[in-house]
Structure 1
Amino acid sequence: MRLLTHLRHVDLAVPDYDKQLDFYAGVWGLTKVAEDSGISFLAAEGSPEQYVVRLRKADEKRLDLVSYGAASVPDVDTLADRLLAGGVQLISQPGKTDAPGGGYGFRFFDVDGRTIEVSADVEVRQHRKIEEK
């Protein structure tokens, strides 16, 4: 059974924040939906996700987080239990999340030390239907 359903968002830290913001908003056509001193949340018009890219101004370029969706709260708990049983270090236990859209999730380190988030019950945003082709 597949417990992850989709990619929610990728969170990036960048030293050239304004240039990257111009790229993601201008070239990629993402929409800035929230901003807070040196952090921008960018949504895709055809996606129900609250945002698909989060940019953070930082001295060093890095991947802050990769977030995946799960179909249900029990799926989130099942995945956390499986990871723990396999010796994976959890950063946070499954519970209520404080990201835009809320939800229920947890974070852990993958084998390469990246922070991964898995969540369910995240509120969807109003988006437009994208037509094929």
Structure 2
Amino acid sequence: MNTRLLTRPRHVGLAVPDYDKQLDFYAGVWDLTKAAEDSGIAFLAAEGSPEQYVVRLREAEEKRLDLVSYGAADPADVDTLAERLLAGGVQLISRPGPVDTPGGG
């Protein structure tokens, strides 16, 4: 039986050189709300979403996709996913553990 351990997308992290312009775009055109902001990083929420934020916008010299965050049902599933990645030769930046950014994890 193939059990799906990822349950949903949580948020994307974007790096942008024109931070203020992009913040205006996501707030104005996409109608996202700034849930938190810290040192050039804004966490933007979508009304009706179960996630605390859906876009993490970071000021940077070059434009890029920083990350795509997925949800899992519980910490045990996160540990299982990490072990599968390690077994497949993927180098992890860090082991699973508590996340101290808005939204937690």
Asked if TM exceeds 0.5, the reply is: yes
Which residue of the partner structure matches residue 20 of structure 2? 18
Question: 1:75-105: per-residue Cα shift (whole Å, max 9, x none)?
Answer: 11111111111111111111111121322xx
Alignment correspondent of 2:48? 46
Name the SS for the 1:91 alignment partner.
coil
Structure 1, unaligned stretches of length 5 or more? Answer: 104-133
Aligned to 2:87: 85
2:60 to 55, 58, 61: 58
Aligned-pair identity in percent equals: 83
Which stretches of structure 1, 4 residues or longer, exceed 3 Å deviation after superposition? none
**RMSD across aligned positions (CA):** 1.0
Q: Which residue of 2 aligns with 1:34?
A: 36
Residue of structure 2 equivalent to 1:69: 71
> Which amino acid in 1 is paired with 2:93?
I
Per-residue deviation, 1:35: 1.3
Query: How big is the shift at 1:73?
Result: 1.1
Question: How far 1:63 sits from its partner (Å)?
Answer: 1.1
Q: Secondary structure at the match of 1:64?
A: strand
SS at match of 2:96: strand
| Larger RCO (CA within 8 A; separation ≥ 6) | 2
- Between the aligned partners of 2:41 and 2:99, the Cα distance in structure 1 is 18
Gaps of 5+ in 2: none
TM-score, length-normalised on structure 1?
Answer: 0.74
One-letter amino acid of the counterpart of residue 84, structure 1: L
- Residue type of the partner of 1:35? E
* Contact 2:8/2:72 (<8 A) preserved: yes
TM-score, normalised to structure 2, is: 0.92
